[in-house]
Amino acid sequence: MIQNHKPLSWAFLRWVISQIRPQTTALKLRMIIVIGMVIATIALQFTLPLTLKYIINSLSLSIKGFTTPNVLVLCFGYGMLWIFTRFVTEIREILSYRIFINSVKQVGCNFFDHLLSQPMSFHANRDFGTLTDELKRSQYTLYKASLGFFLN
């Protein structure tokens, strides 16, 4: 356990990463797919404004041979690109859910095991129900923070 380390030491950070890292091969493969989808989403979100800029420039400059059907095709393509970006984002969150939930469960189990290994005087001086409520709240916060940090 990591009892003797400062909260911001390298040993503590290595321990946290070891708790968050997926353990099974299926989860590791899923994590690689999610990382690929993060990169794809960044690329798609980068191309969206460039596509819109191209559409606006082509409308404002009245390029010769640029007809209304061409504009409609560009607008339709922009809409499909936007929908695809949203779709990839949602699929990425669905795939990453199990990874982050398993990590949060693992951290929660380690915390609970640590609490149960404490002497009886520790539990006599503290309200155990409050500690478990804090554990429940921190698990939800850890899941939301990992989603927000890693995926957005």
pLDDT, residue 35, reads 82
Higher-confidence position of 123 and 66: 123
Q: Which amino acid type is present at position 18?
A: S
What tokens appear for 60 in the block? 């404002």
pLDDT tens-digit profile of 3-57? 554 556 677 667 666 666 667 787 778 878 888 888 888 888 888 888 888 777 7
The whole-number average pLDDT for the span 146-151 is 65
pLDDT of 87 over the 80 cut: yes
Q: Report how far apart, in Å, the C-alpha atoms of 31 and of each of 23, 34, 35, 50, 83 are.
A: 11, 5, 6, 29, 23
pLDDT tens-digit profile of 95-143? 877 777 777 777 778 777 877 888 888 777 777 777 777 777 777 777 7
**Residues 84, 35: Cα–Cα separation, whole Å:** 17
Backbone angles phi, psi at 100, to 5 degrees: -70, -35
Q: Report how far apart, in Å, the C-alpha atoms of 50 and of each of 16, 80, 81 are.
A: 39, 14, 11
pLDDT, residue 120, reads 81
pLDDT of 65 over the 70 cut: no
List for the chain the helix, strand, coil content (%; round to 5). Answer: 85, 0, 15
pLDDT of 1 over the 60 cut: no
Which residue in 58, 53, 61, 86 sits closest to 72, CA to CA?
Answer: 58
pTM of the model: 0.58
pLDDT, residue 15, reads 67
Higher-confidence position of 81 and 65: 81
